[in-house]
Structure 1
Amino acid sequence: MSSAAGWQELRGGWRLLVACAVGVGLSAIALPFYTIGPLTRPIEADLGWSRADIQLAILFSSGLGALTAPITGWMIDRWGARIVAIPSIFGVSLGLFIASTAHTVEVFYAGYALSAILGAGTNPVLWSRVVSGNFEKARGAALGLALVGTALVALLLPSFIVALVEIGDWRLALRAAALLPIIIALPLVYLWLHPDPSRSAGGSGASNLYGSTVGEALRNFRFWVLALSILLGYLAISGTLTNLVPALIDRGIEAQAAAAFAGAIGITMIPGRVLVGFIVDRIWAPGVAMVVLLLPALACLVLRDATDPVVIIVTCALLGLAAGAELDLLAFLTARYFGLAHYSKIYALAYAALATGSATAPFLFASVYDRTGSYDASFMVAAVFFAVAALLMPLLGRYPDLGKIENNRAG
C-alpha cells in the first residue's frame, strides 16, 4: 500500500475503527467466550455441573452464531450495518443476564442461545464488512485495529470476572459482564458507526464493487481451503483458550495468577492483530498466516505439562498471536480472494466455519478432561490442528485480479 494514502485512510476513519473495535470486543461471540473460562470452576462448585456441561454453553452461543451468520450477512446487505448493530447490542446483554439467573443447565443454555440469536448483528460479520468496505489502501491494518477489541477483552475480562467472583459470586460477575455492551459499546456505536454509504453494503454504490457471487465463491476450491483452515485453527484456539484457566488452576496455580497468565494471550493478541494487519498489506497474506499458525502448534506441545511461570507466559503469548491474527486474516483473505460485491454473504459462510470451531471445541476439550482427568490429550490435538491449518494456507495461491475478472464477465 502507499504509506501516505494508508495513513490518511486510518486518520480519517479512526472513529469508525474505535466503534468497530468496541463493538466486536463486546459482541455475542467474544463476551460469552472470554467469560466462560474463569466462570467454569465457580459454577462447578456452586451448582455441581460438570465442566463439559458448563462449557457446552459455548455451543449454543458460537454454534448459533454460525447458523445466524448467513442471515446476518443478508441483513447487512439489505439494511446496512448501523440498523443491524444497535438493537443487537441489547440482545447480547439480555441473553447473558438470563444465563446469570440459571439454576438449571437448560436456563443457562437458553441465555447463551438468546445472546447469540438476539445479538447476531454484533458478530465479526458486521464489523469486518464495515471496515473492508471503508478502507482500501490500509485494509489489513484497519482490520487489525478494528478487531483488536477482542484482544482487549481477552486481556482484561478474565481478571475482571475473577475479581467479581471473589467479591460476590459467579452470578454477579456474569451480570456485570452483561452490562458492558450497553454501557460501553452502545454509545460509541450510536455516535461513530457511520459507514460511507457509497462503499458499504446497502449503499447506492454497492453495485460498482467487484467480486465473486456467492455461487462462484462456493465453486472455488479456495473458499473451502480457507474455511477448513479457519475451522481447524479455531477448534485449536477455542478449545485451548476456554480451558486454559481451569487447566492452570488444576496444577496448583492460584485463580488470580491463572487469570493473569491467560491475560498474556490478550497482550499478544493486540500486536498480533495490528502488526499482522500492517504486514499483510505488504506481504502475501497466506504465507504470513502459515507462520502465525505454526508458532502456537509448538506452544501447545509445551503447554501440556508446563508449570514454570516464564514458560507459561511465553506459550500463552504464542497462543495470543494466533488468536489475534486469525479473525482479521479471515476478513482480509475473503476480501482479497472474493472481493466486496457480495462480501457480507461470502464472509458469513466462511465465518460459520470459524464459529463452528469456536462452538464445539470448549465442550470437546472439557469432555476429554471429564473422561481422563487431564488436558494433555487436548493440547496435543490442538497442536495438530494448528499445524494442519497452517499448511493449508499456501494452497490459496496468488491473489486474483478481481477487476480483470469483472471486466471479462461484463465482456
Structure 2
Amino acid sequence: MTKRPQGYREFRRGWPIVLSSMLGVGLGLSPLPFYTIGVLAPHLHAAFGWGMGQIFFGITITTFVMLVAGPLAGYLSARFGPRPVALWSLLAFGLAFMSFALTNGSLQLYYLTWGAMALVGAGTLPITWTRGVNSWFEERKGLALGLALMGTGLFGIFSKPLTAWLIEGFGWRGAYVGLGLLPILVAAPVAFALFRNTDGDPLAPASTRVVEGLSFGETLRSWRLWLMVAAFIPISFALGGPIPNMENILKAMGFAKSDVIRLTPFIGLSALIGRLVGGWLLDRFWAPAVALVILCLPGLSCWMLAHGELSFLQAALSICLIGFAVGVEYDLMAFLVARYFGMRGYTQTYSLLYVCFSIGAGFGPAVFGWSFDRSGSYAGVLMVSVGALLAGAVSFLFLGRYRDEATPPLAVQAADALPAGTRA
C-alpha cells in the first residue's frame, strides 16, 4: 500500500481546525467592520451629516484599543489556549457589532462603540486562530494558514452585496443587526464543535508536546522582529487605506453606482485566491521573495488608480491586485513568525506584529478619507501608498534564511547575494 504523504496526514487530522478558523477569522473583528463600513458610510453621512474622515476614524479607534486588546488576547490564548478565548470573543463581538444600530448621531457614542467592539472582539483576530493552525501543521503550514485565513476573502466576496441587500430591506440599523448575528449563529457553533487546543488532545501531533523556538524575551532582542515591524506598518497603511474607501474612489473616478457594486466584490474574490496561492508559494519558496513579488503588485494598482480615468477592466485589475496582496498579508505574518522565531513565544510575538500592522491599517482608511475631504481626490495618498509598498516589500529581503535551516528552500539563494552582515 502506498504511504500517504505527511501533508495529507496533517490535513486529515487538522481539517476541523482549518475549517473553524476559516469561519472564525472571516466573521471576526478583522474583516467584518472593515469590509462593510464602505457600504454603510454613505447612510451614516446622510443620517447624521458626518464626513468620510469622521466615519472612517472609527477604524482608527480600533487601532488604539488593539494596542492593549491584541497583546491581552495573545496572553490569554497562551495561558488558557485559543479555544475558550475565541469562543467567548465571537459571542461578545457579535453583540457589540449589533450595538451600532443604537447610534443616535453622537460621534462620541459612535467611537465608544468602535472601541468596545475592538476590546471584546480581539479574540476573534488571527492571533488566536493561527496559533491553533501553526500547532497542528508543519509540512503544509503555509497552505493550512492560507486556507484558514481565506475566511476574510470569502466574507469579502459577499459582504458588500449582503450589506447592501440588508440596508435595502431593513435599513442601515437592521444591517448592523443582521451582520452582527453572523459570528454568533455561524462561527461560534462551528468553533465550539471543531476548534481544539493541542494540549491534552490525543489527535494532536506529537511535535506539539515540546514547544520549540525562541522565548518572547529572546525574540524582542532579535533585529529580525523589528525589521518586520518596520516593514509591516507602511504595508498595512497602503493596503488598508484603499479598501474601505474603494466605493468612493470609484465614484470619484466617474463610475456609475451599478459598476461600483459590480467591481467591489473583486476585492474579496482576489483575496480568496491570494490566500490559496500565497500559502502554496510560502511552502515552496523563500517567504521574503514571495512577499516582494506579491506586494509590488498593489503598488502598480495604486499608481493606476491615482492617474487618469480607468476602464471597467482596468479598474477590476487594479482592485484584484490589491485584494490578492491583502489575501497574503496575515498568513505571511504568521508564517514568518513561525519560521524565524518558532512556536515557543508565537502568540506574544504574533500579537505584537499584529498590533503594529493594525496601526497602519487603522490610520489608513481615515487618512484616505481626510485626504479626499480636503482635496476632493485620492491621487496624492495613493502615490504615497506606492512608495510605502515598495519600501516594505524590499525590507523583507534582509531577513535571511529561516531559523536553524540547514538547507534553504528554493529562491533563498537570493539571500546569499545580500551583504554578509544581513544573512543568517
Task: Please state which band the TM-score falls in when normalised by the shorter chain.
Answer: over 0.9
Mapping of 1:237-316 within 5 angstroms? 237-304=239-306, 305-316=308-319
Mapping of 1:124-143 within 5 angstroms? 124-143=126-145
Mapping of 1:215-230 within 5 angstroms? 215-230=217-232
Residue 399, structure 1, aligned to residue 402, structure 2: yes
Aligned counterparts of 2:405 and 2:197: Cα–Cα separation in 1? 23
Indicate the residue corresponding to 2:322 in structure 1.
Answer: 319
Moved more, 329-338 or 189-198: 189-198
Note the C-alpha offset of 1:371: 0.7
Note the C-alpha offset of 1:181: 0.5
Report the RMSD for the aligned CA atoms in angstroms: 2.1
Superimposed CA distance per residue, residues 355-405 of structure 1 (whole angstroms, 9 cap, x where no aligned partner): 1112111111111111111111121111111111111110111111179xx
Matched residue type, 1:158: K
Note the C-alpha offset of 1:243: 0.6
Indicate the residue corresponding to 2:32 in structure 1.
Answer: 31
How high is the TM-score relative to the length of structure 2? Answer: 0.90
Indicate the residue corresponding to 1:195 in structure 2.
Answer: 197
Q: Secondary structure of 2:175's partner? A: helix
How high is the TM-score relative to the length of structure 1? Answer: 0.93
Aligned counterparts of 2:97 and 2:147: Cα–Cα separation in 1? 27
Q: Secondary structure of 2:5's partner? A: helix
Note the C-alpha offset of 1:11: 2.8
Indicate the residue corresponding to 1:59 in structure 2.
Answer: 60
Matched residue type, 2:293: V
Indicate the residue corresponding to 2:412 in structure 1.
Answer: none
Note the C-alpha offset of 1:204: 11
Indicate the residue corresponding to 2:386 in structure 1.
Answer: 383
Matched residue type, 1:347: Y
Matched residue type, 1:85: A
Aligned counterparts of 1:155 and 1:20: Cα–Cα separation in 2? 18
Residue segments in structure 2 that go unaligned for 5+ positions in a row: 407-424
Native 8 Å contact 2:199 2:209 kept in 1: no
Residue 345, structure 1, aligned to residue 329, structure 2: no
Indicate the residue corresponding to 2:210 in structure 1.
Answer: 208
Mapping of 1:55-94 within 5 angstroms? 55-94=56-95
Superimposed CA distance per residue, residues 167-207 of structure 1 (whole angstroms, 9 cap, x where no aligned partner): 3422222221111111110111111101322699xx99867
Structure 1 residues 199 and 320, CA gap change in structure 2 (3 angstroms): farther
State the identity as a percent.
32
How many residue pairs match? The answer is: 401
Superimposed CA distance per residue, residues 258-286 of structure 1 (whole angstroms, 9 cap, x where no aligned partner): 13312111111112111111111111001
Aligned counterparts of 1:178 and 1:381: Cα–Cα separation in 2? 34
Note the C-alpha offset of 1:78: 0.6
Mapping of 1:6-17 within 5 angstroms? 6-17=7-18
Aligned counterparts of 2:364 and 2:98: Cα–Cα separation in 1? 24
Q: Secondary structure of 2:284's partner? A: coil
Moved more, 12-21 or 254-263: 254-263
Aligned counterparts of 1:154 and 1:327: Cα–Cα separation in 2? 15
Note the C-alpha offset of 1:37: 1.2
The structure 2 residue matched to 1:360, chosen from 352, 359, 363, is 363
Superimposed CA distance per residue, residues 291-329 of structure 1 (whole angstroms, 9 cap, x where no aligned partner): 000011011100123431100110111001110001100
Moved more, 94-103 or 118-127: 94-103
Matched residue type, 2:366: F
Q: Secondary structure of 1:330's partner? A: helix
Aligned counterparts of 1:59 and 1:252: Cα–Cα separation in 2? 28
Indicate the residue corresponding to 1:406 in structure 2.
Answer: none
Residue segments in structure 1 that go unaligned for 5+ positions in a row: 404-411
Moved over 6 A (4+): 203-207
Matched residue type, 2:312: P
Native 8 Å contact 1:206 1:341 kept in 2: no
Q: Secondary structure of 1:56's partner? A: helix
Note the C-alpha offset of 1:99: 1.7
Aligned counterparts of 1:181 and 1:210: Cα–Cα separation in 2? 33
Matched residue type, 1:47: F
Aligned counterparts of 2:405 and 2:175: Cα–Cα separation in 1? 48
Indicate the residue corresponding to 1:409 in structure 2.
Answer: none
The structure 1 residue matched to 2:156, chosen from 154, 167, 170, is 154
